[in-house]
Amino acid sequence: MKSKDIEGVRSPHEDSCASNEQLALKAFLGFIKRQERETRAVRVAKALAEDCLQRLADGKKLAMYNSIQVTEMATDGVVPEKPTAWLAKVWDDLEKRLNQWELGLQDTARQAGSAIYARPRKSQGAGGAGNSSSFGLVFLPVPETETDQPASAPGSITYFRDLTLKPAFWIKPLVHAGFALKGWRRAAFVTYGLGGMAAVGVVLAGLWVVVTTGWSSIPVAGIASLIMLGAMVGGIGYALLRPFWRLIDWRIIMAPDILVAIRERCVQLEAGKEPTEGGNHVRVIRLVRYSGDCPICGEKVHLQDGGREFPERLVGRCDEHPAEHVFSFDRHSRMGRPLR
Ligand SMILES: [Zn+2]
């Protein structure tokens, strides 16, 4: 903790709250500043956090803002014609982003040593004139994890989940914001893996029987196309089922492109373990992106398949110097050592 009550010094409760909140706000801003594109949603989040931080620094209490105030802060005074409508639209975007950022916000706060994390919130007004919504930041407890955060050694890298991604639209209902393996979803997952294998097996065996028993009666061209069909079924089955088995084996793999919206890159498919209320664990499959800052040059580091040099491993490669700035990746400790 950055702020500790020092013995003998009078430290009112509110002051200690304020310093905890400052720590959380700084972590929040750190996360926000790492976003690749400064969209309007990002600007709104940043403006809110910066103003809250300023208020705390000035010894004031945190407040909620109305839509005009927020719009002014986020647009540097160049207020659009209808600020309320403008903000309503931007806030919808922000809410979507917040769902993707949630784990990253928690990771960042945790790594900063904060027990709480900041999250923008809109309080719905009753509607009608004079009853408009208000906007501000709330502080939520950072959930506990099983991951201990070791002190980072010099030259090593710390990763965090910068995005928890929307899957491509065709499997969105299945993997929406983490896919807990229980109930029908567990059944669906197992059915996919085992059922898929069985289906491919049955088709191939059927083709085999047809080819071997009808060897003399089927024309050569027919046999050739049956073999082609067999190869296609085998190939497609391999492509669709390999990620399933690799995920079971390795717990984290690079996400197959088919699962990820086209504009996202360096995304992983992770089978994480999450505690449930009863003290048990549930497997959660989610699309995440781990990233970090290169300790050598400061650019972003993203995970990639280790390839031939680092087989069966994911390694972090610096965006700017991918050949030389290479780091290991430990999903448990979220740390990496230089591999070069
Ligand atoms: Zn680098």
Give the distance (Å) from ligand 1 centre to CA of residue 129.
Answer: 53
316 C-alpha to center of ligand 1: Å? 10
> Domain-by-domain residue ranges, the chain?
13-144, 169-336
Q: How far is the CA of 317 from the centre of ligand 1 (A)?
A: 8
Q: Ligand 1 centre and the CA of 327: distance in Å?
A: 10
Better-scored residue on pLDDT, 264 or 24: 24
Looking at residue 151, what is its pLDDT? 62
Provide the pLDDT for residue 131.
60
Task: Read off the pLDDT of residues 90-138 as tens digits, 9 standing for 90 and up.
Answer: 999 999 889 889 889 998 998 888 999 999 999 887 655 556 789 999 9
Q: How far is the CA of 320 from the centre of ligand 1 (A)?
A: 6
Cα–ligand 1 centroid distance for 87 (angstroms): 38
Ligand 1 center to 298 CA (angstroms): 6
- Ligand 1 mean position, distance from CA 114 (Å): 28
Determine contact, residues 302/311, Cβ cutoff 8 Å. Answer: no
Beta strands in 84-239 (DSSP E): 116-123, 134-141, 157-164, 179-180
More confident residue, 111 or 44: 44
Determine how β-strand 268-275 pairs with β-strand 300-305: unpaired
Please give the distance, rounded to the nearest whole angstrom, from the Cα atom of residue 322 to the centre of ligand 1.
7
39's tokens: 């969209």
- Report residue 313's pLDDT band, with 50, 70 and 90 as the boundaries: very high
Asked which of 98-112, 122-136, 205-219, 290-304 is least confident by mean pLDDT, the reply is 122-136
Q: How far is the CA of 193 from the centre of ligand 1 (A)?
A: 38
Quick check: 283 and 293 in contact, CB under 8 A?
A: no
Total length of the chain: 340
Residue 262 confidence class, pLDDT cut points 50, 70, 90: low
Distance from the CA of 308 to the center of ligand 1, in angstroms? 21
Q: What pLDDT is stored for residue 26 in this prediction?
A: 94
Most confident of 3-7, 130-134, 228-232, 271-275: 228-232
Instruction: Evaluate whether 136 touches 119 at the Cβ level (below 8 Å).
Output: no
**What separation in Å is there between the alpha carbon of 47 and the centre of ligand 1?**
30
Residues 6+ apart with CB under 8 A from 288: 103, 161, 163, 164, 165, 267, 268, 270
Reference 124, options 91, 146, 102, 157; nearest CA is 91
pLDDT at 317 over 80: yes
Q: Which of 56, 64, 53 is nearest to 25 (CA)?
A: 53
Q: What is the pLDDT of residue 304?
A: 93
5 pLDDT higher than 50:
no
pLDDT-derived band at 77, boundaries 50, 70, 90? confident
Q: How far is the CA of 37 from the centre of ligand 1 (A)?
A: 20
- Whole-angstrom Cα distance, residue 18 to residue 49? 13
pTM exceeding 0.85: no
